[in-house]
Structure 1
């Protein structure tokens, strides 16, 4: 088995053979001592807009670039969808070992993961009532593997395991726990490393500032982009960006980079809970993006307890795409109510509280309550929701902070102590938001109607405001 450095060198040789153009001013470094795996570092000073590396589209590990894409019907990939299709292709290339064009690439990808899907029950329990626990999706992913992915491997076993007389038996063996685990790992690689790959010829509408909407980005196929995914991410030190060109993808410096500095990409405005779920670590640089979710069932329970008959109103809000499984409240320093509460939560609360005659008039006009204003009654209900949400956590913010002081943060994320510490930091961030919004609402609830200057987010209802990606 190749050593860590040998695998890195083999990978770089493969990249060059694949047509990549790599600036000699950068190098792939072993950053395991900093618990960062591999990373890209500047060997010499790099100027703004200088090319760091250019990768031909043919080197991207994607559905369309795999031999398998031409060996089974295209409708099969369409039925699987982009995520399962890429997992299928990655399984195919991985099990082909040295025969795969991406064999050297697989050798530098992690084989062990620290994401929440691989945590023990006692470690997940440390997240307490964080909504991220409901977003891990292990059982749902396994069900998709068994019900959709493995049947395709069975159907095309002699293609998937070409040349193997045990092809059909191997297809049946995909149900074994170690192969389900392998599928989880491929899915985790995609979640942590894959890029939304813009087509060679873009058909998206770009606004005057060069941005595309998030909805359009979600429709893009995903692909594994070698070397680009070796860049670690940092919200504050981001100094590089990937640009999509007709025949290639180019990583360029967006700031001057001095010799010895690491080159960082950026994940965008991810809360630390999602950072942990998708990448298996957290950093204080992303604390500013923390959110706490108010579950929809907590809203309906609170309304029922207050004697509010909500079914007709919820049906109406459902027709207008207001309802969601939960609604985010965002971190803000210094904290105030402006822009921190998901506008759809305001609409939901105000619609539930409207007098019957006012609701009927609104319904006849096919309108909704204003999303940028919250009434005193609405603020009072929101305050009740926030307090109820805080009570869902077994420990208080003060208790967690005392524990954090007594037990310092563990630098090694992969240990049990490190996982406990990360989970504690996530729940502290959420509880701080609940404390801040409770303090703000305590005074506001009796002050009458006021404007919150809330804007409808670009994402899905309750999904939170998210940064749009600049078109490359």
Structure 2
């Protein structure tokens, strides 16, 4: 591959080499020192895997262009890789790059059935998304067979274009491609031979760039390197769940860990059309996915969404004037209670709780760098985020309860409150005697709701 790249004008290959690194695997090692910001490597445009190059291929291009509807970028690149891999002659340089690619990956879509079932207990979100990926891959492959492979059997022999081969090629695109924003709001996704062997580290600065005029890819030193150091690039701020799904690895104590909270409202819900307009004005939709992070575990967008979701007709005008802020104490009380109960339920879905998981990792229960070890780190990060989110909601609830008790309220509690169990609205509801934060229409509802409420019930401030 080096000879082919050099013949096309690659720069820097004499100062680098592929090497195996303990606990990481294959990467790129320096053969001389580099200073931060110094050019390390340039891969010329003629060596890149792009949609344009796939379309320009005299054999593959016409078949790709004839596919209806048009293929996605990742399907074009995956097909391009498989096409070159399947050829018995020609494509010498590109075939040398394919030969250098890993023959297998450790992404969660390649987990065994037992390992995937273990995800359901350790990280329900990783399990759910991975299962959905499996379904999507199967659907996309069937569509490819109908739209492209089956229409051109001489180009795409089905014994070399199987679903397993397709899954491998997809993972190659997910884990090794680079994305760059271009002028005019456009973007480009590509694979750069040799440069795609660089591993990720969040400790280096952004150091790979795309030259719009030449189409070349350049890598700069993201930090100072000594002879024999591994060269890294930064893939961006990615949480462990996504790293494991798309790249096949995790980062212990990942500062970018997050949890994607999905909020949705059924179109048949009361006042849905009015609420949909309010969500749109707040930059949201009736179904919104909002990331909770370690640094911002309860974003204002979550509160804004739920305030709209739980408002009643009398609150509509107030919500417009509130600009996304708290509209009433009763509304805020419902929002915070719902959040706390939801976060408690999500955390209960992790069969191995945070403290026990930390003990197991410290005691070496999981084989280091193995799949179960990786899933444990995904679970750890998600539970930390959800725990912080629940605590933030509980703190806000305590502050609200204190304000209500002290009389420092916005006057909105004069409207009828709702029973925390059955939702019945009335001005004659009994308060929880311990936390003074929820109301019930009677003893039966209070007892029935206690299992859900006990996780958040705290004595009210004296």
TM-score calculated relative to the size of structure 1: 0.73
SS of aligned partner of 1:192: helix
CA distance in 2, matches of 1:385, 1:24: 56
Of 310-319 and 15-24, deviating more is 310-319
Identify the residue that residue 124 of structure 2 maps to in structure 1. 130
Residue number among 243, 266, 286 corresponding to 1:275 in the alignment: 243
Q: Which runs of 4+ in 1 moved over 6 A?
A: 371-374
Paired residues, number: 388
Deviation track 1:362-392 (CA, whole Å, cap 9, x = no partner) reads: 46x8x96249999454333322221121122
Deviation track 1:272-303 (CA, whole Å, cap 9, x = no partner) reads: 11111111111226x11111233436x88xxx
Residue number among 197, 202, 209 corresponding to 1:242 in the alignment: 209
Q: Say whether the 8 Å CA contact 1:72–1:156 is kept in structure 2.
A: yes
Residue number among 227, 230, 245 corresponding to 1:259 in the alignment: 227
Q: Say whether the 8 Å CA contact 1:49–1:255 is kept in structure 2.
A: yes
SS of aligned partner of 2:32: coil
Of 353-362 and 107-116, deviating more is 353-362
Structure 1 residue 97: Cα displacement: 4.3
Is it true that 1:227 corresponds to 2:223 in the alignment?
no
Larger Rg: 2
CA distance in 1, matches of 2:260, 2:319: 28
Identify the residue that residue 60 of structure 1 maps to in structure 2. 48
SS of aligned partner of 2:193: coil
CA distance in 1, matches of 2:71, 2:53: 17
When residues 30 and 405 of structure 1 are mapped into structure 2, their CA distance, relative to the original with a 3 A threshold, is closer
Residue number among 149, 154, 159 corresponding to 2:150 in the alignment: 154
Q: Say whether the 8 Å CA contact 2:15–2:31 is kept in structure 1.
A: yes
Residue number among 393, 418, 424 corresponding to 2:376 in the alignment: 424
CA distance in 2, matches of 1:73, 1:424: 41
Identify the residue that residue 263 of structure 2 maps to in structure 1. 296
Relative contact order, CA 8 A, sep 6+: which one is greater? 1
Is it true that 1:83 corresponds to 2:83 in the alignment?
no
When residues 317 and 396 of structure 1 are mapped into structure 2, their CA distance, relative to the original with a 3 A threshold, is farther
Deviation track 1:390-428 (CA, whole Å, cap 9, x = no partner) reads: 1222232223223333334533x3xxxx21121112112
Map residues 2-17 of structure 1 onto 2, 5 A cutoff. 11-17=1-7
When residues 372 and 241 of structure 1 are mapped into structure 2, their CA distance, relative to the original with a 3 A threshold, is farther
When residues 72 and 276 of structure 1 are mapped into structure 2, their CA distance, relative to the original with a 3 A threshold, is same
When residues 383 and 192 of structure 1 are mapped into structure 2, their CA distance, relative to the original with a 3 A threshold, is same
CA distance in 1, matches of 2:325, 2:88: 58
When residues 357 and 26 of structure 1 are mapped into structure 2, their CA distance, relative to the original with a 3 A threshold, is same
Map residues 6-405 of structure 1 onto 2, 5 A cutoff. 11-22=1-12, 24-31=14-21, 34-66=22-54, 67=57, 68=59, 70-72=61-63, 74=65, 76=67, 79-100=70-91, 101-127=93-119, 128=121, 129-136=123-130, 137-158=133-154, 160=155, 170-171=157-158, 173=159, 179-197=162-180, 202-204=182-184, 216=185, 220-237=187-204, 240-247=207-214, 248-284=216-252, 287-296=254-263, 309=270, 311-312=272-273, 315-316=276-277, 321-324=284-287, 326-332=289-295, 339-360=296-317, 362=319, 369-370=324-325, 375-405=332-362
CA distance in 2, matches of 1:388, 1:196: 37
CA distance in 2, matches of 1:311, 1:135: 28
Structure 1 residue 263: Cα displacement: 0.8
| Runs of 5+ unmatched residues, structure 1 | 1-10, 162-169, 205-215, 333-338, 451-472
When residues 318 and 354 of structure 1 are mapped into structure 2, their CA distance, relative to the original with a 3 A threshold, is closer
SS of aligned partner of 1:155: coil
Q: Say whether the 8 Å CA contact 1:130–1:292 is kept in structure 2.
A: no
Structure 1 residue 355: Cα displacement: 3.6
Q: Say whether the 8 Å CA contact 2:239–2:257 is kept in structure 1.
A: yes
CA distance in 2, matches of 1:355, 1:120: 48
TM-score calculated relative to the size of structure 2: 0.75
CA distance in 2, matches of 1:19, 1:372: 63
Structure 1 residue 269: Cα displacement: 0.7
When residues 362 and 442 of structure 1 are mapped into structure 2, their CA distance, relative to the original with a 3 A threshold, is closer
Of 265-274 and 420-429, deviating more is 420-429
CA distance in 1, matches of 2:275, 2:345: 21
SS of aligned partner of 2:17: strand
Of 135-144 and 390-399, deviating more is 390-399
